[in-house]
Structures are given as C-alpha cells and as structure tokens.
Copies of this chain bind each other. A is one copy, B any other.
Amino acid sequence: MTRLTELAPRRAVIREVGLRDGLQSIATILPTAAKREWIQAAYAAGQREIEVGSFVPAKRLPQLADTAELVDFARSLPGLLVSVLVPNLRGAENAIASGADLMLVPLSASHAHSLANLRKTPGEVVAEVARIRAARDAAGSRTLIEGGVGTAFGCTIQGYVDPDEVLRLMQALLDAGADRVSLADTVGYADPAMVRSLFERASATAGERFWCGHFHDTRGLGLANVYAALEAGVTRFDACLAGIGGCPHAPGASGNVATEDLAFLLESMGFETGIDIGRLLALRARVAGWLTDETLHGTLWRAGLPKTFPASLADAATATETTGASA
C-alpha cells in the first residue's frame, strides 16, 4: 500500500456545509428544530466541523434566518468547530457577536460571478476582509477569518478563470488579514489535473493557512477532484449530506460532494475522519425524509458499505505499520 504512506498526515476532516450551502439553494425551508436535530446527529456521528448557516439578511435567504440560534446551539457541543458564512462586515459583526469559531468570507475569482453573486468586485471583497479583520481584532474576538476563493476553476458566466489570478487573490486575502484560505470549484468545472496543479501551488503559497477544498459534483468529478487534492497534501474538505447544495447564481450547478461518499472515500483509503458512516447514513435517511420535494444525490446510500469495510481498515492500518517499520 505505497499510496497510503505517501498521503501523510493520516487524519482528514470533513466540514459539513449542508446546513448552509445545501439549504440555501433549495426551496424547502427546514424548521430550526430539524436543523438542531441534524447538527446533533452529525455531531453524534463524529463530525467536528459544521457550517451552520450564513449571516445574510433574512429577506435574502429566509432558509438561513435562524443562524444565530444555531450557532448558539452548536457551541454547546464540546469540541465542535462552528462555522458560518458572512458576505460582508455587517455579517461578520453578527458572527463575532454570535461567538462562531470561524467565519468564511466568500470571494469569487470570476469578476462576472463576483458581481452577480456578491455585488462586489474581487478587490472590493479583499478590502472588506481587511475591515472584517480590523473589527474582529478591535472586538478582541477569537473568531477565525477564512477567505474562500470560489469559481477557482472557471465560472458559468465568465468561463475561463486564470489560476494565477486565483492565487493572487488568495495571497491578497492573506495579506488583508484572513487567518485561513480555501479554494472552491463552485460550479463543477475542475478536473483532477487542474486540482492537483492549483492545490499544490496554493499549498506552497499559503502553507498551514491553506484550509479547505470545496468541490461540487456537477459533472461527476467531485470525488476524483478530492483525491487529486489529497495528493497535493490537502486533507480538509467541505461536503453536504446527500449532496444537496449548489449556487443560485451559477445556472446548472448541482450539489456539493456528498458527505457520506466522501467519508467512505477517506476511510477506505485509511484516513481517520472520526466519522461513523453507518450513523451518517441513518442521518441521511432522516434528512431525506425532511426534504421529500428535493433532488438528493450521493451513491453510497443505495449499496451501503462494502462487506470488507471494517476488515480493510484493519488491514490498511497493519500495512502502514509494517511499511513504516521497514522503511
């Protein structure tokens, strides 16, 4: 098992973004009680990073109007890193007040997508991050700032996005005070070769501050792209239970990588995610029951885990130990 030993470190993290990226792009409005149940069950299944919502005007995204309440609930779960999305300084102020552990500020590398989705140019978003950093520091808050560069592999409006421009914007976010940066294939334009190339460059630029890969499965390459990112050394990924999600301003874009399929990929390859996939599949069934009017995605739920699954993990662990001893 040469491959496994190459892919150090052995720990990988899935951040659940179904409650934000997923729910914001579907019609069903999930009651707060159901969201709490989702967060609680995801936590019980071993998930330790959850994006619970977005601090945007309730008028714009009524699905996420209960974000402050959900942050409050999620903070009661020990060891859970509670993320929110904030589009601007106003949202960041709310996030800081809520006590969220991390706030993700989205920036779109595509100028056209940025104007359509955020009503700002990428440069204006960088300037906003500087203001958010100043506000965070002035408040004495410990809420981390993540600058998320979206449409990093192309965009349905503008088309081509230059990787050099993506890296330039990533660096600008760091310079403006972002604690973390991440890259997102918002509309499913990436392939594994593109991912490996850009993620290697991004990791080299941002080092430990490169935080997360966010892949949509719009054209079926979501998990192949995750694997390419793993090869580039990245081990934290966003995912949505049942693959719900998308972007309302990117026509044709369907859901994120499905959490359950991603957990299976990672665990099967010998990464420790801390996730109990059986519990995750049970939660998926519950969420599917709440979202009967929506198209769900993902593949593992149909067939279930392989018969070899626990055994193969044990084998992988043994193989690694053996290799480690002899190498």
Contacts and interface: CB of A to CB of B under 8 A. Distances in A.
B311 A159 contact: yes
Can you tell how many copies of this chain the complex includes?
2
A226 B224 contact: yes
Contact of A220 (B188, B193, B300): B300
Interface in A224-274: 224, 226-228, 252-254, 258, 261, 264-265, 268-270
A200 B305 CA distance: 26
Contact of A2 (B4, B154, B197): B197
Contact of A303 (B155, B188, B223, B303): B188
Contacts of A4: 193
For chain A, give the interface size range: 35 or more
B227 A307 contact: no
A142 interface: no
B303 A219 contact: yes
Contacts of A159: 307-308, 311
Interface of A: 1-4, 7, 154-156, 159-160, 187-189, 191-194, 196-197, 200, 217-221, 223-224, 226-228, 252-254, 258, 261, 264-265, 268-270, 298-300, 302-308, 311-312, 315-316
7 contacts: A3-B228, A156-B307, A191-B268, A217-B299, A219-B299, A252-B302, A252-B304
